[in-house]
A and B are shown apart, each in its own frame.
Chain A
Amino acid sequence: MTFEQFIFYVLGALAIVSGLMVITVKNPVKAALWLVLAFIATAGVWIMAQAEFLGLVLILVYVGAVMVLFLFVVMMLDINLAQLKEGFTRYLPLGAMASVGILAMMYMVLGPDHFGLEVTGAPVQQSANFSNTKAIGVPLYTTHAYAFVLAAVLLLVGIVAAIALTLRRRPPREVLYQNIDQQVKTEKADRLTMVKMESVVEKELPEKEEESK
């Protein structure tokens, strides 16, 4: 076993174990943290497969942004664990049977017979100055420009949907809004009033005995 293979197996085992933990741990916050670990292990596998850009983006976007946001949501929600666990044992045999079946099929199809090195050939080794970013970026803006625009439309629809479903317009007096125009235009005279006061002369206080604490 080469060192590369060793790293691959470590990362692969890590990804599988953390993936299993995501669905078996009871606490949703812990599950989300295991998912973070699964992402990091997968990113490692991608980097080993010479997809450095994708690996880094996975960590930046998913671990850095998506999962943190997700953790916030999970912590904010009051999730009833007992209710979630309800029916787990009842459906376990059926679920286990289905997943074993699919696993067996996947092994038969995705195993070495059809996707082994003899079938696909060894991956091409790129030189050190090969740019992953360019290899993704150039097709994205040329051959897949149509799909790229459509993905943007999809995100737009997502925004519209999210706002339409969550925004509640309240009566105007209930919520106070900032008026930026007025705030910028404000002048010293609007905020500051000079008050004339008589000067106060400090009187000497008679000395008192300090009370014991």
Chain B
Amino acid sequence: MNFVIPAFAPAIPEMVLLAMASFILVADTFWSKKYQFATYYATQLTMIVVAYFIMTSFATAQVITFDGSFVRDSFADILKLFILLVSFGIFLFSKEYLLQQKFYSGEYFVLGLFGVLGMFVMVSAYNFITLYLGLEIMSLSIYAMIALRRDSSEAIESGMKYFVLGALATGILLYGFSMIYGATGSITFPEIAQIIDSGKADPVVLSFGVVFVVIGLAFKLGAVPFHMWAPDVYHGSPTAVTLYLGTAPKIAAFAIIYRLLAEGMPGLVHDWQTLLIILSVLSMVVGAIVAIVQENLKRMLAYSGIGHAGFLLLGVLAANPDGYAASMFYIIVYAITGVAGFGMIIALARTGNEFDKIADFKGLNGRNPWLAFMMLIVMFSMAGIPPFIGFFAKVVVIEEVVKAGFVWIAIIAVVTAVISAFYYLRVVKAMYFDKAEETAPIAPVSSQLNWAVSLVSVALLVLGLMPSSLIELSYQSIGLN
């Protein structure tokens, strides 16, 4: 057996991240008593350092190492950078929230870092085993983060729900993997694609496997009819964790969908395309209609997330590089908007008042006009109203799906977008036209939060005014592969 030591250099970001996370894990026990925020600052420093390592070794061509289990390309690098950016925002908001709700602990940041590592592994996964391991590292961290607030029965309940359903979804996904391995005899994505194209694999076993793989992915993404966990988990989790699980992991989920379906099984496009059409249409419809009756903003955003998952799948089901790029752009925009939306709830939350009901937002304009305006931007962007960035995200995916020849799906997408605008505008109406029950002015607990929430919201407007660079970035990174 001759074994060549693989190239470690492409995986430097992951290695640095793992080293830093392990260091912080140990160091936290020693420094947390003396310096309360040391873990927080070290976590944010890690984000910056890892981003620096990615930037300095930015991949221009595809590099595969570790015997075909790891891939580094510009697609991976760009998604990783955005995961870091979004996580930076998440940790920034979380710190204040955790302090306020009195469960600030180093474990939150350590688990968060390991979760980011899991997302990195998912984005760069090039065979079934690494993909599964990355997914599990990420999910396990999130399950624990949800239940970290042990005195809240809601948090424990939603942690339990997410854990059981997540384990079931992983089981289904693994079952699908085993079928595809059984038919092709390979676990590496390019090899699988090659064997499927050559027609040597049994088509019945393959389509059986694809069904399970797609169901597993739909569970993770929260697409209808596998969405039942999302509202409960979003609602029950502490807002800081909702912010975490509703944004960055979606980017990683998109990455594995792309790796599995587009890179691993392009030959089975007819099988998974039909499934994705069903998932996408159902998600858009359910996400738009059920969200209307929600009274809780976190629940409403959960249903809005389901609707967004449907829109995201539009680009993927177009099944061409342009479509994937449109989806990539969509998911990046969605993650940033999500940070702004949940960040707003965190910024306004008080000890004892989570500020997560739509009724809480009544008359916000009178209490804090600036934040009300920021929230207006976030809601308009989510609804897809120009000139905010959310509009362009919806436009590109719908454009790609029309180009791919599915005009009827595009029509459904536009109709659901209009319906969903109703509930986003309901929040705006509550802020500007409803009478406040409490008229005392309200401001975030710290100026840091005020700055952060303003920055993210204004970014939605600025990006919306010049969306071309971000769109180009997505199209180029997919086109290069």
- With most chain B CB atoms within 10 A of its CB, the pick from A156, A157, A165 is A157
**Which of A42-50, A85-93, A146-154, A186-194 is the interface stretch?**
A146-154
Quick check: A114 and B205 within 8 Å, CB to CB?
yes
The residue from A109, A119, A144, A157 contacting B129, defined by CB atoms under 8 A apart: A144
The answer, yes or no, to whether A143 is at the interface (CB within 8 Å) is yes
**Interface SS of B by simple majority:** helix
Contacts A147-B129, A160-B144, A165-B147 supplied; 5 other A-B pairs, CB < 8 Å: A115-B182, A146-B6, A164-B107, A164-B111, A165-B144
Find out whether the CB atom of B141 lies under 8 angstroms from the CB atom of A150. no
A138–B67 CA distance with the chains assembled, in angstroms:
14
Q: How many residues of A contact B (CB 8 A)?
A: 25
A residues whose Cβ falls under 8 Å from a Cβ of B: 105, 108-109, 113-115, 119, 138, 142-147, 150-151, 153-154, 156-158, 160-161, 164-165
Is the C-beta of B204 less than 8 angstroms from some C-beta in chain A? Answer: yes
State the Cβ distance, B474 to closest chain A Cβ, in Å. 27
Question: Could you say which residues of chain A place their CB within 8 Å of the CB of B22?
Answer: 156
Interface size on B, residues (CB 8 A): 38
Of chain B, the residue at the smallest CB distance from A106 is B208
A150-B137 in contact (CB<8A) = yes
Question: Which residue of A is nearest B11, CB measured?
Answer: A146
CA distance A150 to B114 in the complex (A): 11
Main secondary structure of the interface of A (DSSP, over half): helix
The 4 A-B pairs with the shortest beta carbon distances in the complex, nearest first, are A161-B144, A146-B66, A164-B107, A150-B133
A157 and B205 contact, CB distance less than 8 A:
no
Question: Is B202 in contact with chain A by the CB < 8 A criterion?
Answer: yes
Do residues A147 and B130 form an inter-chain contact, with CB atoms below 8 A? yes
Report the separation of the CA atoms of residues A146 and B120 in the bound assembly, to the nearest whole angstrom: 13
How would residues 302 to 317 of chain B score, 1 for a CB under 8 Å from any chain A CB and 0 otherwise? 0000000000000000
In contact, B137 and A153 (Cβ under 8 angstroms)? yes
Interchain CA distance A157-B70 in the complex, whole Å: 21
Q: Which of B25, B182, B208 contacts A105 (CB 8 A)?
A: B208
Q: Is the CB of A142 within 8 A of B111?
A: no
Q: Is B143 interfacial (CB 8 A cutoff)?
A: yes
Chain B positions 47 through 70: 1 when the CB is less than 8 Å from some CB of chain A, otherwise 0: 000000000000000000011011
Report if B105 contacts A (CB, 8 A). Answer: yes
- The yes or no answer to B3 lying at the interface (CB within 8 A) is yes
> Which single member of B129, B133, B141 contacts A161 (CB below 8 Å)?
B141
Whether B111 lies near A160 (C-beta < 8 A) is yes
